[in-house]
Amino acid sequence: MTTTPERGSDPDEGGEAGEAAEATLGDGLEELIADVEEAIEPLEATVDMTPLDHPHRLLLVHAHPDDEVLSTGGTMAMYAEKHALVTLVTCTLGEEGEVVVPELRHLASDRDDTLGPYRIGELAASCEALGVKDHRFLGGAGRWRDSGMMGEPTNDRVDCFWQADLPEAARDLVAIMREIRPQVVITYDENGAYGHPDHIQANRVTVAAFELSADPSYAPELGEPWQPAKLYYSAIPRSQFREGMKALAERGVETGFGG
């Protein structure tokens, strides 16, 4: 699937693309995100999106592109295959992610800072692979920026998800909950599984929206109240985590988790 952003995707214009990205930082980044969204929109328009046609509806709230696969990919693929409506809400574009592919290193936040738009394309490809047809960004693409790891200066940026206004973010999620009317909602535990600020915030926003969505006195303009039946926190068994770390260590991969 080719949903890679146009800019910089042609190897022949690598140098030029790098300059263009640099020149368009700031306001230009919003334009770039809009370009990518426009490229993906025709794909989404072909999808049958009448939520209540599906008797089973599942809503997942994740912090960054790629999180959907890391902890819930199997669940999403299984329910999508069973024709449940699987809706993925991603809260940020993952702009602060570490770029491990050398050819893509220029996308990183300390260089071109174009990782976010690039990951919109990756996320679309991920959803395609999982069979997930309904994906949204909380508040729209680029509304909240990746906060980076806990303790990093990026936690203090006014536009980052860690600094998000909780009522505003929860309201955006309530609108989706009342539209989709999911029976089951999935997000992280209170510690965001491993302490990443955006994962913690995703938990807070989801828990708040889970309560508010059912409250008839809350924002009636967002639609009929809806109480999802269940809220699950994803979890990885300690034993499985240890096995994974061991397997990586055996392959000589430095995990940063020590012993």
Footprint of Zn ion (CB under 5 A): 63-64, 67
Query: Smallest distance from the beta carbon of 91 to Zn ion, in angstroms?
Result: 9
Nearer to Zn ion, 67 or 95 (CB): 67
Query: Smallest distance from the beta carbon of 118 to Zn ion, in angstroms?
Result: 16
Nearer to Zn ion, 64 or 178 (CB): 64
Query: Kindly report the CA angle at 128 between 6 and 56, in degrees rounded to 5?
Result: 140
Nearer to Zn ion, 64 or 106 (CB): 64
Tokens 């309530």 correspond to 174
Nearer to Zn ion, 63 or 200 (CB): 63
Nearer to Zn ion, 63 or 186 (CB): 63
Query: Smallest distance from the beta carbon of 32 to Zn ion, in angstroms?
Result: 22
Query: Smallest distance from the beta carbon of 63 to Zn ion, in angstroms?
Result: 4
Q: Which residue is nearest to Zn ion (CB)?
A: 64
Strand order through the sheet with 57-62: 134-137, 85-90, 57-62, 184-187, 230-233
Tokens of 89: 């809400």
Question: Cβ contacts of residue 52 below 8 Å, gap of 6+?
Answer: 181
In one letter, which amino acid is 196? H
Q: Identify whether the C-beta of residue 119 lies closer than 8 Å to the C-beta of residue 137.
A: no
Query: Smallest distance from the beta carbon of 203 to Zn ion, in angstroms?
Result: 12
Q: Identify whether the C-beta of residue 25 lies closer than 8 Å to the C-beta of residue 152.
A: no
